Amino acid sequence: MLYVALALLPVMILLIWLYTRDSLHPEPKRSVYRLFLLGAAIVLPAGLIERQMLESGMAHDGWRTVFMTAFFIAGLVEEFLKAGILERAAFQQGLLRSPVDCMIYSGAVALGFAAIENILYVTSSGFNTAILRSVTAVPAHLMFGIVMGTAFARHIWLQTPRPFVYVLPAIAHGIYDTFALTNSWLGDALLFLYLVGLLEWSLRRLDWAAKFSEHLWTERTALS
C-alpha cells in the first residue's frame, strides 16, 4: 500500500494543481473525476495493443526499435486512446466551453492514465522508481495532455485541423520516449532539456488558455 500511495501522490498533487487553473468557472469535480477514471481505464487496452504490436514484429533492431516503439507503439496508441476519450466524453458532451476547460479535461485523462501506469511501475520496481517517475513520466503525461488540450482549443475556436488533436500529443510523447529508451547519458541529458522546454511551453499554454477563456466569458456576459 505504501508504494501505491507513493505512486498516486504526484498524480493527485498535479490534478489538484491543474484543477485550480480555472479560477473563474471551475469545472464540476464529478466530471473531472469521471474523465480521470476513463483515462485510467484505457491503460489495459493500451497495454494489450502495444504488446500485440511488439509481437507482430513492428519493432526491429537498434535505433529502429527505439523509433518504432516510441512513436508508433507507445506514443500513437496511448495518445490516440486518450484523445478518443476526450473527444467522446468531454467534447461531444458539451463540456469544453472554454480553452481552459480543454486543458482541465485533457489533463485529467492524461493523469488518470499516468496513475495506473505509475502504480504498475512503482509496485514492481520500488522507491527509487517512485521518485524518478514523479519528476519525469508523471508530469510528462500531464504535459502531453496540455498539448492535446491546446490542440482541441485551437480546433474549436481557431478552426485548426482536427487531426492535430491526435497527432501532436503522439509526437510529443514519441520524442520523450525516444530519449528515455536510449539508456545513455546523452539520452538522459536530452530528456532533461526536453522536459524543461516542454514545461515552459505548457505553462505558457495554460496562461494563454486562461486569458482566452476570460475573454470568451466576458463576451458571453456582454451578449447575454
DSSP, collapsed to helix, strand or coil, labels residue 96 as coil
Give the Cα separation of 172 and 199 in Å (integer): 12
Please tell me the pTM assigned to this model. 0.93
Asked whether the beta carbons of 138 and 160 are under 8 A apart, the reply is no
Alpha-helical (H) ranges within the chain are 2-19, 29-41, 43-55, 62-67, 76-86, 99-125, 127-134, 137-158, 164-181, 185-223
Give the Cα separation of 213 and 142 in Å (integer): 20
Give the Cα separation of 184 and 134 in Å (integer): 20
Domain ranges of the chain: 2-219
Nearest to 105 by CA among 150, 74, 70: 150
Each residue's pLDDT, cut to its tens digit, for the chain (224 residues) gives 888 999 999 999 999 999 998 887 889 999 999 999 999 999 999 999 988 887 776 555 567 777 788 888 888 999 999 999 999 999 999 999 999 999 999 999 999 999 999 999 999 988 898 899 999 999 999 999 999 999 999 999 999 999 999 999 999 999 999 999 888 899 899 999 999 999 999 999 999 999 998 888 787 777 66
